[in-house]
Amino acid sequence: MSRQLSRQFGDDGGMAGKEPPAQIEVGGRTIDVTNPSKVFFSTRGETKLDLAQYYAAVGAGALVGVFERPTVLKRFPNGAEGEFFYQKRVPPNRPDWLETVTVTFPSGRSAEELCPTDVAHIVWAANLGCLDLNPWPVRRSDVDHPDELRVDLDPQPGLSFDQVRQVALEVRALLDEHELVGYPKTSGSRGIHINVRIERRWDFTEVRRAALALARAVERRMPGIATSKWWKEERGDAVFIDYNQNARDRTVASAYSVRANAEGRVSCPLEWDEVADVNPSDLTIATVPARFREKGDPGAAIDSQAYSLDSLIELAHRDEAGGLGDAPWPPHFAKQQGEPRRVAPSRRAASDSETASDSDSETD
């Protein structure tokens, strides 16, 4: 799908020749926004230019989540309710100031991905029709050792957001016990993300192992409310804690990313005392810039200290000593040593989670 859409819409994210571009000045650079009046969000009629201006307004906060990280381009040529495709490899027609970094995938393939170093990189991506920013949990100086543990709370269909809030607060309590500080944000969809800055001492496999131990610990505390079960038919009416978001090449929408819905909801950083009452529908491209100006960025301090995973790794050791082995990996990964075999037939779709494989396109 990516190649077909790229041929149809080109690298500017829209049909050429419709109207003259608008221009946005950001960080001393001028970014052309092509097809600026094209409606991207139908609820209030925000346009592609509104999207670019949103990212310019919250750019300082958005840059925290993607700075010097390999970042996947998730492009919506016809707006939030249209078709999309992942583009991991930056297009050849790009500004000479644009910075990139090369990463490799479990398949052995590699890609030259966007590596934002200033807000202009983010606005440039918005002009390509990128709604959300999807960075790796690594920096370009060391692409093999994550500096971020990611807790992705994904509710099953029909669950209330209140249940997601409950699980998020229990995750915080568990992190506190392990002397870790998490920074929460709405996912911009139906869930909550919690990011923890960590020391770059562990590879992807070990970070995933720590995330699995955390997910299982929360599940034990909240049986029937939270789950670490990978297969959808095994989760029941619970909030899935997606430990596999910490596997190599998995990406999660970053802070201040706009998500693909008609309202233009935003993955918005929160203070912990906001979690119990937050309503994700209140956090959109129409409201978050004013919130950012007035309240600042609740996630701004995430880089102030990196924490040790030793305590969660020890928890993983205890789980393994108690008979808990590995859990299923993403389907495009080679079978891992110790990974349990699938017993029941799987009805999973390619959209099992909001990530991209090492191909240039995938569904969400």
For 162-178, how does the pLDDT look when each residue is reduced to its tens digit (9 = 90+)? 999 999 999 999 999 99
CATH code for the domain in which residue 33 is found: 3.90.920.10
87 and 182 housed in the same domain = no
Whether the per-residue pLDDT at 97 is higher than 60: the answer is yes
97 and 179 housed in the same domain = no
Question: pLDDT band for position 343 (50/70/90)?
Answer: low
Q: Which whole number is the average pLDDT over 241-253?
A: 96
Q: Is the dihedral of CA 212, 191, 298, 217 positive or negative?
A: negative
103 and 242 housed in the same domain = no
CA distance 235 to 290: 38
3-7, 137-141, 235-239: which range is least confident on average?
3-7
Residue 14 lies in a domain: yes
Residue type, 62: A
CATH code for the domain in which residue 239 is found: 3.30.70.3300
29 and 100 housed in the same domain = yes
124 and 242 housed in the same domain = no
Under a CB-based contact definition with an 8 Å cutoff, are residues 244 and 251 in contact? no
The CA angle 15-351-106, to the nearest 5 degrees, is 95
Question: pLDDT band for position 331 (50/70/90)?
Answer: confident
70 and 201 housed in the same domain = no
Range of the domain at 13: 2-135
Residue 127 DSSP label: H
Over pLDDT 90: what percentage of the chain?
Answer: 84
Under a CB-based contact definition with an 8 Å cutoff, are residues 53 and 108 in contact? no
Report the pLDDT value the prediction gives residue 341, as an integer from 0 to 100.
77
φ, ψ of residue 78 in degrees (nearest 5): -110, 25
Q: Which whole number is the average pLDDT over 74-94?
A: 95
Report the pLDDT value the prediction gives residue 229, as an integer from 0 to 100.
96
119 and 31 housed in the same domain = yes
Residue 359 lies in a domain: no
Whether the per-residue pLDDT at 352 is higher than 70: the answer is no
Maximum Cα–Cα distance across the chain? 65
What is the number of structural domains in the chain? 2
Residue 32 lies in a domain: yes
Question: pLDDT band for position 278 (50/70/90)?
Answer: very high
18 and 93 housed in the same domain = yes
Q: Which whole number is the average pLDDT over 193-197?
A: 98
Question: pLDDT band for position 356 (50/70/90)?
Answer: very low
Q: Which whole number is the average pLDDT over 315-319?
A: 97
Whether the per-residue pLDDT at 5 is higher than 50: the answer is no
Distances (CA, A) of 290 to 137, 236, 262: 28, 39, 20
Residue 143 burial (CB count, 10 A): 17
Mean residue pLDDT across the chain: 90
The CA angle 173-137-100, to the nearest 5 degrees, is 160
Over pLDDT 70: what percentage of the chain?
Answer: 89
Q: Which whole number is the average pLDDT over 323-351?
A: 74
Give the domain-ending residue among 135, 156, 186: 135
Report the pLDDT value the prediction gives residue 364, as an integer from 0 to 100.
28
Q: Which whole number is the average pLDDT over 312-341?
A: 91
Distances (CA, A) of 330 to 27, 248, 336: 39, 10, 10
Residue 241 lies in a domain: yes
Whether the per-residue pLDDT at 1 is higher than 70: the answer is no
Give the domain-ending residue among 100, 135, 170: 135
Residue 114 lies in a domain: yes
Residue 166 burial (CB count, 10 A): 18
Question: pLDDT band for position 28 (50/70/90)?
Answer: very high
CA distance 286 to 292: 11
Whether the per-residue pLDDT at 12 is higher than 70: the answer is no
131 and 168 housed in the same domain = no
Q: Which whole number is the average pLDDT over 298-314?
A: 98
Residue type, 309: L
212 and 237 housed in the same domain = yes
For the record, the structure tokens of 159 come out as 């669950």
Under a CB-based contact definition with an 8 Å cutoff, are residues 49 and 166 in contact? no
105 and 152 housed in the same domain = no
108 and 218 housed in the same domain = no
Question: pLDDT band for position 337 (50/70/90)?
Answer: confident
336-340, 342-346, 360-364: which range is least confident on average?
360-364
Give the domain-ending residue among 135, 161, 180: 135
Whether the per-residue pLDDT at 7 is higher than 50: the answer is no
The helix/strand/coil state of 235 is coil
Whether the per-residue pLDDT at 236 is higher than 80: the answer is yes
Nearest partner of 269 among 98, 62, 70, judged by Cα: 62
The helix/strand/coil state of 270 is coil
List residues bridging with 183 in a β-sheet. Answer: 195
Residue 126 burial (CB count, 10 A): 26
